[in-house]
Amino acid sequence: MSKSISGFSKLSKAKKIDWIVTTYFSDSEEARKIIEQYWNTDAKVQKLHDEFIENTITNYYLPLGVAPNFLINDKLYTIPMAIEESSVVAAASKAAKFWLNRGGFKTKVYSTIKIGQVHFMFHGDFNKLRTFFNNIKPQLLKETASITKNMEARGGGILDIELRDKTSDIKGYYQLHVSFETLDAMGANFINSCLEQLAKTLQTEALNFELFSETERRIDVVMSILSNYVPECLVRAEVSCAVEDLTENDAISGEAFARKFVQAVAIAEVEPYRAVTHNKGIMNGIDAVVLATGNDFRAVEAGVHAYASRTGRYRSLTHAKLEDGRFYFWIEIPLALGTVGGLTQLHPLVKLALELLHHPTARDLMQIVAVAGLAQNFAALRSLTTTGIQKGHMKMHLMNILNQFGANEDEKQALTEYFKSHTVSHNAVSDALHILRSKT
């Protein structure tokens, strides 16, 4: 039976594991064995992993795969992808190879502006607050100078500070809306440090502003925090080719495939039930590269889905059209990424992934990640509008099913060959394995 514990965080790693396995598992030694099985054999590397987060007991592994043959702005890449879902890496690789001889992927970064906000309450005359803000804006920037000095030396820093009136949403609610350039850093700690200093200066200066009444001088800062919604931190990736070059499938012409593909994208632009699954497929590619390069996939997911809803309806992140005999397919997506700081300096596999990508800048990585999402979506839509999604996906999933049934190497080899010409399903694999075993 579960029970509470005091001072768990102060226990040694061994004591934490002792408590976990004896409290929650009927076979405590088997649980301990599994936990220890995933420790890194290099004690130094394991200590590094232990210190990434709190209360670490073991490592949780994800496969790290690679998708080769990505031609991006005439430069070849092999893209690292950390993901547990079968068929994702294969689909990305297949899309990359398809576009390799059709001009590859073209990309463009529109902006790398990130946002942070100081949320505060002010119950008084807005005109006086606006005058106060205009007066102290230079002071706000001056007080953050010690924090922004190094970033400014590299070409970044605070770009602007705006006072925003949000009282139509909540009585007395205002913001300092701050835009930042953080270059190759994702910049969360930098932005939050700046915001906390801005909040402190805002409150301090308000105490001495002569136009404020005694009540107005008491500005109540609720919180100071960066935003993961970065609609201006935007990148575009696209592919295009002549319509007749669009298909490798003899069963469907390039023209027919193109029209069906464009229609599929159009449906995702107007039907939220389809758009969510459509965009999830895009994020299969994006999250896998974000994870492999040590970036925050949760922040990326939140920002991307907010962007997909910016018109008031949740829509497709990709778009397609036919024009003058050519097929165009593209994505515009907000991505706040970093290639310095955080795990990029610490995790050995993240370092390896970034080296594999030719040591990209943050702008480079934005473009690579956007391409991975576009490629994944192209592969999914090509399957959906031709053979159906299950044929390819389930064949990639075959090995997982065989492992669930405890198939040995000979059985895996025999059934992999068998299902090259048969439809894969859980029941079909079970039946085929049963027949195979009955013959031995």
φ, ψ for residue 367, nearest 5 deg: -70, -40
Structure-token pair, residue 57? 């007991």
Nearest to 275 by CA among 283, 262, 285, 265: 265
Neighbouring C-alpha atoms within 13 Å toward the C-beta of 123: 6
- Cβ neighbors of 55 (< 8 A, separation 6 or more) are 8, 9, 16
CA distance 247 to 293: 33
The DSSP call for residue 215 is T
Q: Please list the active-site residues.
A: 85, 280, 296, 393
CA distance 360 to 339: 7
Structure-token pair, residue 379? 């592969």
Task: Report the largest interatomic distance among the alpha carbons of the chain, rounded to a whole angstrom.
Answer: 94
Q: At what angle do helices 272-292 and 348-356 cross, to 10 degrees?
A: 100
The DSSP call for residue 288 is H
| Cβ atoms 178, 163 nearer than 8 A | no
